[in-house]
Amino acid sequence: MALTMTAMATVIGCSPMHSSHGYIPDEELVAKLRPGVHDRDSVTSLFGSPSSVAQFNGETWLYVKRESEHIAFFDEKIMEQDVLAIRFNKAGVVSGVKRYAMADGKVLTPVERKTPTRGKEMTVLEQLFGNVGRFTGQGQ
């Protein structure tokens, strides 16, 4: 009986957790958006605030939706990701609308280098016993 309960708890604990984050407007709603006609305010009223704004010039708004799966202690696995990019010209009027799927993206691997810091690296024992004898019993 205990073995059966342990096996059931293991199976339940390892079942995948699905999560959905973000928002992408429907195709019908995106079709209403006209380049050269709509501005930032009308895009906000149609779609709401963007998920992100491009850092380089702020002229591209991104609406992102991501479906992922997470099992126990393993890394999260992205199942599906969609991005709606809306570009604005300098006057703040829509100049282009483009959709991207997960297949359009590239996987980036962050650099694992460490930045060296100045100073002495101390061992655990040096940290524990480093202040022994430095203090006097007299108040200052």
Q: What is the structure's pLDDT at 7?
A: 56
- Whole-prediction pTM: 0.61
> Pick from 132, 43, 49: which is nearest to 95 by CA?
43
C-alpha–C-alpha distance, residues 11 and 18, integer Å: 16
Q: What is the structure's pLDDT at 12?
A: 59
> What averages of pLDDT result for each successive group of 10 residues across the chain (140 residues)?
63 73 86 90 89 81 87 80 90 90 72 71 79 66
C-alpha–C-alpha distance, residues 47 and 29, integer Å: 8
Rounded to 5°, angle at Cα 86 from 98 and 38: 120
E strand residue ranges, 1-131: 17-22, 52-53, 60-70, 77-88, 94-101
